[in-house]
């Protein structure tokens, strides 16, 4: 079967008010789409939509399934269809497992997992009614492709997004709906400075410092967005962005034992430096 051409007319990007989501929205607008920028930060969504041109804004908490269904309903009511659903909103956690709380787990799974599932369900129902289907892009992370320590709620949530995306992709095959998981390495966004409810062992700036220690130069959100939308248009299953993510992804597949050893050393290092900071 020949691949349909990627000519999106209507898209939604959750977490589109900033960072990677904003740049994905820009890529879609540049390809001729109207984009609904949906974010829990309504002011950021408004500002983003203004700068993008062919875009509008919506204030939505992706962990609320009814709010996300309403977002899709309202978009289709106004624009007649939905070609691309980008489930990108996410929150970051950092710290040792023993310091994670119920709130950390609820927030990570609520936004990073349920948020993606909520968006995919609402979009899927609509796309099934469209003769030319549609595209679903779910933002996971390199942390969804390797056993990233010291951030278990985040790692768990991102593995779930990769697994969900690949399973749904199999179901969607033949129904003209393409599902893609996006797995970027470290990217220069405010996420790196906004660890949610940091535990005792985490100080402001720690996460960004760790990220730069691994990757040296952080990617720009635009670099990630370009690869994401290229991968989406090409119908890829998983889009891994950045040299560090590529190396870690391959290492984990080719030699998981060495990867396990490496992350064990890293976890011990994190514990030691948290102790010396106290
Ligand atoms: N920055 C990185 O290094 C990196 C690496 C890999 C994956 N990611 C993933 O990329 C995605 C985008 O992150 P980013 O780096 O652009 O961060 P960001 O903080 O710049 O953007 C995240 C956006 O999501 C929004 N958001 C948060 N909770 C929400 C909710 N409940 N409902 C709706 N919107 C909500 C925020 O308001 C923000 O605008 C996330 O899923 C993140 O996990 C980021």
Closest-CA residue, ligand 1 atom 2, reads 187
Q: Residue 143: what are its φ and ψ, rounded to 5°?
A: -65, -10
Residue 34's beta-bridge partner residues? Answer: 10
Q: Where are the beta strands (DSSP E) in the chain?
A: 10-14, 34-39, 55-59, 84-87, 134-139, 177-184, 238-241
Rounded distance from Cα 15 to ligand 1 centre (Å): 6
Is residue 5 one of the residues assigned to a domain?
no
Q: How many domains does the chain have?
A: 1
Question: At what angle are helices 243-254 and 256-277 packed, to 10 degrees?
Answer: 120
Rounded distance from Cα 174 to ligand 1 centre (Å): 31
Rounded distance from Cα 3 to ligand 1 centre (Å): 30
What pTM was estimated for this model as a whole?
Answer: 0.97
Is residue 1 one of the residues assigned to a domain?
no
Q: Pocket residues for ligand 1 (CB within 6 Å)?
A: 14-15, 17-21, 39-41, 44, 60-63, 88-91, 111, 115, 139, 141, 184, 186-187, 189-192, 194, 221
CATH number at residue 183: 3.40.50.720
pLDDT of residue 201: 86
Please report the atom of ligand 1 found closest to the CA of residue 62. 32
Rounded distance from Cα 41 to ligand 1 centre (Å): 11
Whole-number Cα distances in Å, 258 to 84, 242, 262: 38, 21, 6
Domain of residue 217, residue span: 10-277
Is residue 261 one of the residues assigned to a domain?
yes
Predicted confidence (pLDDT) per residue in 94-104, tens digit: 999 999 999 99
Mutate which of 90, 165, 192, 249 for ligand 1 pocket (most atoms within 8 A of beta carbon): 90
Closest-CA residue, ligand 1 atom 42, reads 90
CA of residue 145 relative to chain centroid, distance: 13
Is residue 4 one of the residues assigned to a domain?
no
Is residue 250 one of the residues assigned to a domain?
yes
pLDDT of residue 3: 61
Is residue 2 one of the residues assigned to a domain?
no
Is residue 54 one of the residues assigned to a domain?
yes
Rounded to whole angstroms, how far apart are CA atoms 225 and 173? 24
Closest-CA residue, ligand 1 atom 23, reads 15
Rounded distance from Cα 112 to ligand 1 centre (Å): 9
Rounded to whole angstroms, how far apart are CA atoms 199 and 172? 40
Name the residues annotated as catalytic.
Answer: 154, 158
CA-based torsion, 132, 46, 70, 107: positive or negative: positive
Q: Which helix (H) or strand (E) element contains residue 261?
A: helix 256-277
Is residue 99 one of the residues assigned to a domain?
yes
Please report the atom of ligand 1 found closest to the CA of residue 112. 41
Predicted confidence (pLDDT) per residue in 149-207, tens digit: 999 999 999 999 999 999 999 999 999 999 999 999 999 999 999 988 888 888 888 89
Rounded to whole angstroms, how far apart are CA atoms 265 and 278? 20
pLDDT beneath 70, residues of the chain: 1-3, 277-278
Please report the atom of ligand 1 found closest to the CA of residue 111. 31
CA of residue 108 relative to chain centroid, distance: 12
């Amino acid at each position: 079967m020949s691949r349909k051409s990627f000519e999106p007319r209507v898209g939604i990007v959750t977490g589109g008010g900033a960072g990677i989501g904003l740049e994905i929205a820009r890529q879609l607008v540049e390809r001729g789409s109207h984009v609904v920028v949906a974010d829990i930060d309504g002011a950021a969504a408004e500002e983003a939509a203004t700068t993008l041109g062919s875009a509008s804004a919506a204030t939505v908490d992706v962990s609320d399934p009814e709010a996300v269904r309403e977002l899709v309903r309202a978009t289709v009511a106004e624009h007649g269809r939905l070609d691309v659903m980008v489930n990108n909103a996410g929150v970051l956690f950092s710290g040792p497992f023993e310091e994670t709380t119920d709130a950390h787990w609820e927030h990570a799974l609520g936004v990073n997992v349920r948020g993606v599932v909520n968006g995919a369900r609402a979009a899927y129902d609509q796309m099934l009614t469209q003769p030319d289907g549609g595209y679903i892009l779910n933002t996971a992370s390199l942390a969804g492709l390797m056993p990233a320590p010291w951030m278990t709620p985040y790692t768990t949530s991102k593995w779930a997004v990769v697994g969900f995306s690949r399973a749904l992709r199999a179901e969607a095959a033949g129904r003209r709906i393409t599902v893609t998981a996006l797995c970027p390495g470290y990217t220069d966004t405010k996420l790196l400075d906004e660890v949610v409810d940091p535990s005792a062992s985490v100080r402001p700036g720690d996460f960004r410092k760790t990220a730069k220690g691994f990757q040296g130069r952080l990617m720009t959100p635009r670099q990630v967005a370009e690869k994401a939308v290229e991968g989406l248009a090409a119908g890829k299953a998983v889009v891994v962005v950045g040299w560090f993510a590529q190396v870690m992804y391959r290492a984990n597949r080719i030699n998981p034992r060495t990867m396990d050893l490496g992350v064990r050393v890293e976890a011990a290092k994190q514990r030691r430096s948290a102790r010396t900071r106290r």
